[in-house]
Chains A and B, each alone.
Chain A
Amino acid sequence: MSSVTLEALSQGLQKHLGDRIKSLQIAFGEVTIEVDAADYLAVMQTLRDEPELSFEELIDLCGVDYSAYASVRRDGKRFAVVSHLISISRNRRLRVRCFAPDDDFPSVPSVTAVWNVADWFEREAFDLFGIVFPGHHDLRRILTDYGFIGHPFRKDFPISGYVEMRYDPEQQRVIYQPVTIEPREITPRIVREATYGKAENA
Chain B
Amino acid sequence: MPELRNFTLNFGPQHPAAHGVLRMVLELDGEVVMRADPHIGLLHRATEKLAETKTWIQSVPYMDRLDYMSMMCNEHAYCMAIERLLQIEVPLRAQYIRVMFDEITRILNHLLWVGCHGLDVGAMTMVLYAFREREDLVDAYEAVSGARMHAAYYRPGGVYRDLPDRLAQYKESKWKSAAQIKPFNEARSGSLLDFLDDFASRFPKLLDEYETLLTDNRIWKQRLVDVGIVSPERALQRGFTGPMLRGSGIAWDLRKKQPYEVYDRLDFDIPVGKTGDSYDRYLVRMEEMRQSNRILKQCIDWLRRNPGPVMSDNHKVSPPSREAMKSNMEELIHHFKLCTEGMHVPEGEVYSAVEHPKGEFGIYVISDGANKPYRLKIRPPGYVHLSAMDEMVCGHMLADVVTIIGSQDVVFGEIDR
Residues of A near any B CB (own CB < 8 A): 1, 27-30, 32, 56-60, 62, 64-65, 68-71, 82, 84, 88, 91, 93, 95, 115-117, 119-120, 141-145, 152-153, 159, 185, 187, 189-192, 194, 196-199, 202
A60 contacts which of B257, B370, B375, B377 (Cβ < 8 Å)? B377
Asked if A88 and B49 sit within 8 Å, CB to CB, the answer is no
A199 contacts which of B55, B314, B362 (Cβ < 8 Å)? B314
Which residues of B (369-389) have their CB < 8 Å from a CB of A?
A: 369-372, 374-375, 377, 379, 383-384, 387-388
Contacts A159-B53, A196-B344; A143 near B44 (Cβ below 8 A): yes
Contacts A59-B362, A115-B239; A191 near B351 (Cβ below 8 A): no
Q: Can you offer 28 A-B residue contacts whose CB atoms are under 8 A?
A: A1-B258, A28-B350, A59-B379, A60-B364, A60-B377, A62-B377, A65-B375, A68-B374, A84-B364, A95-B351, A116-B238, A117-B237, A117-B239, A141-B41, A143-B40, A143-B41, A143-B44, A153-B49, A187-B54, A187-B341, A187-B342, A190-B370, A190-B371, A191-B368, A191-B369, A196-B344, A197-B346, A198-B316
Q: Which residue of B lies closest to A64 (CB)?
A: B375
Mask: chain B, 280-324; 1 = CB below 8 Å from A; 0 = not: 000000000000000000000000000000000011100000000
Which B residues lie within 8 Å of A59 (CB)?
239, 241, 353, 360, 362, 379
Asked if A197 and B316 sit within 8 Å, CB to CB, the answer is yes
Which B residues lie within 8 Å of A202 (CB)?
314-316
B410 on the A face (CB < 8 A) = no
Which A residues lie within 8 Å of B364 (CB)?
60, 62, 82, 84
Contacts A62-B377, A199-B88; A30 near B351 (Cβ below 8 A): yes
Q: How many CB-defined contacts (below 8 Å) exist between A and B?
A: 133
- 8 tightest A-B contacts by CB? A117-B239, A197-B344, A143-B41, A70-B368, A120-B387, A60-B379, A62-B377, A143-B44
A187 contacts which of B86, B340, B362 (Cβ < 8 Å)? B340
Q: State A153–B376 Cα separation when bound (angstroms).
A: 11
- Measured CB to CB, the closest approach of chain B to A70, in angstroms, equals 4
- Measured CB to CB, the closest approach of chain B to A185, in angstroms, equals 7
Q: State A189–B374 Cα separation when bound (angstroms).
A: 10
Q: Which residue of B lies closest to A192 (CB)?
A: B344
B383 contacts which of A93, A120, A152, A192 (Cβ < 8 Å)? A120
- Measured CB to CB, the closest approach of chain B to A54, in angstroms, equals 10
Residues of B near any A CB (own CB < 8 A): 40-41, 44, 46, 48-50, 53-55, 58, 84-88, 236-239, 241, 250, 252, 257-258, 314-316, 340-351, 353, 360, 362, 364, 366, 368-372, 374-375, 377, 379, 383-384, 387-388, 416-417
Q: Which residue of A lies closest to B234 (CB)?
A: A116
Which A residues lie within 8 Å of B383 (CB)?
120
Q: State A119–B55 Cα separation when bound (angstroms).
A: 32
- Measured CB to CB, the closest approach of chain A to B340, in angstroms, equals 7
Asked if B237 and A115 sit within 8 Å, CB to CB, the answer is yes
Q: State A200–B98 Cα separation when bound (angstroms).
A: 26
- Measured CB to CB, the closest approach of chain B to A77, in angstroms, equals 15
Asked if A70 and B369 sit within 8 Å, CB to CB, the answer is yes
Contacts A199-B88, A202-B314; A84 near B362 (Cβ below 8 A): yes
Q: Which residue of B lies closest to A146 (CB)?
A: B39
Q: State A1–B49 Cα separation when bound (angstroms).
A: 30
Which B residues lie within 8 Å of A120 (CB)?
383-384, 387
Which B residues lie within 8 Å of A95 (CB)?
349, 351
Asked if A145 and B53 sit within 8 Å, CB to CB, the answer is no
Q: Which residue of A lies closest to B351 (CB)?
A: A84
